[in-house]
Structure 1
């Protein structure tokens, strides 16, 4: 009997795991379960090209429609896995079917946090997580006049940029003083605040939302101080929560996600986890981390496939993400816990939105970002890896644009 591998979660991580299994020569059965009615798609286009009208729905899909049949991957869309029987090694789906597995991958992703406020159920109060969410939001932004974005994380800022680019008046409401403050720290957060204000976006920091008002449809947002903002569209981007219910019910270890080792194994050696939901031990950083970005889904899905096939996998990819807002494009690699760095080093002029930034802790580079400067990610990642290995950087040389980044690496 051929081996049966089951993947729960037909997002990017699950799709890449299936692709990698076939690419690595796995000849057994692969069943890929997805709750949504669509075949797997990528999420970055949802808050970028689709909202701007620059790309279509079809551009978001991971594979062509016939790829799954051509590669003998049984794709079961619109089918939720309800339970795992670890003793029998089976999963039971929402249609009542029971599927056996030799190895199981949980790539169940995350869900957006919902606002529990008066009026949060009014028409026009929207979230952005799924392809239908993006299609709906793109349609309403075409005619929106007053858009209020709740939350100044990556999704919130990208939505705000898209809405403003399409002509709407845009206001961002954020509980922290600055956008992306927890992720990037004060210095770089100021750059993004300046960018959005320069494009006419109003930013309310240190602010909360008390309620939404309107009849059937939202017409305004009331802040904690009692002030009222006009709004015919509200987009809430207040974070996501990992979908751990299935794993928890099965008795797997969970803690801010499904806990896995550096080989992406859960507390059950036959079950693996990848993508947003996986809280993995990172051997370079030396702690468990959960990463919610595109590159992690791609790389972790591929690594999980190799681990399922019995290969010796140590997942040590640096966290990486990118964003496009107006004419600012950026890439970031590394990991900085909130507030856990000593100082920033800039190479270039942040006020002109063309610079490199480095987060430094005890003289070591622990993260780096390139903004409107390209083809330097390999060098930045090498500096970050060296930093986590204990290399202390020469900060004066690090800040000097005349010195190639390659010359700052260990041994140069």
Structure 2
């Protein structure tokens, strides 16, 4: 390895994904250096996120597409460092091209509903027949075995089934959907972990395998890190609103100009809170001296904090708590958070650029939030136009000549 090389350099990933869960997985692989060939259906206009508002073009941001030149901000963020080719996989000629690509590839990633890839003739079994060392990552709502009904899933469906909607909000309030599409973002993280693990196995044994990730399983597994079933059996609340009594003092508290988050479950942190409030004697009060005692008097303790924070600004509260060693932070709006100099400086959030017009709309997107001491990582190529690399990939990877490519295009396979 040369200093500055990306760790997945030389790996070829065939990207059959659309929308968010799959494309985020392949975005991460691209940021780690893999050559990601994004395969899009020309009959449907390609990845569905190509039609997500807002759009960025020569005139900046707009909510509707004003010209063919405008590109979805979603796609601009999710398709960086990928090459786009078009294949209508409902045609046998296109499936043949895909399987030719599989012979040269290391990884296939798809996020079809369970069984769809097999019906198309491009599932794991078909890919393994032409390349026994292929790693085939499938991200679906419920896993490769499918689920009752349609078996199709969107983020909100998975949030509903996972129980997550009943972990946020006040105890008697309606279910709360997590604003971030957390199921769509969590499943691809596990898929990438699976792909990287399978790459290690291929290097050791030469044997490829399927990596099967369920959105429901990923999110429910994450939820189960907290013992919600035990809380229910013990009569403890599973929904606690803006405070968490079993860790008191812990939660969000009002300030004169917004809100602050405070996390002080240990005796040391709690004593720091009491000193910051100017009431150090509360650390010896029998109601608040130990963690269990604080939990038993959480309502009173949090009411005291409400009164104290409500008379001060966010900056004042955070500064005095930090002085006494207490973890605390202002509660920021998304637009404020993504312009934080720390995450910007580390490349964890970056400016997005239109492939032709640059950063004309001051739009932000994800960087690669992994930093290596020796390797490089990140995104340096813009999102591609639909099918922009079709001819180049077929020529350089597969060795097809111009006549063959022209024939495929005329037949509707490309």
Write 1 or 2 for the structure with the bigger share of strand.
Answer: 1
Task: Give the structure-2-normalised TM-score.
Answer: 0.27
Higher relative contact order (CA 8 A, sep 6+): 2
Task: Give the structure-1-normalised TM-score.
Answer: 0.27
Higher Rg: 2
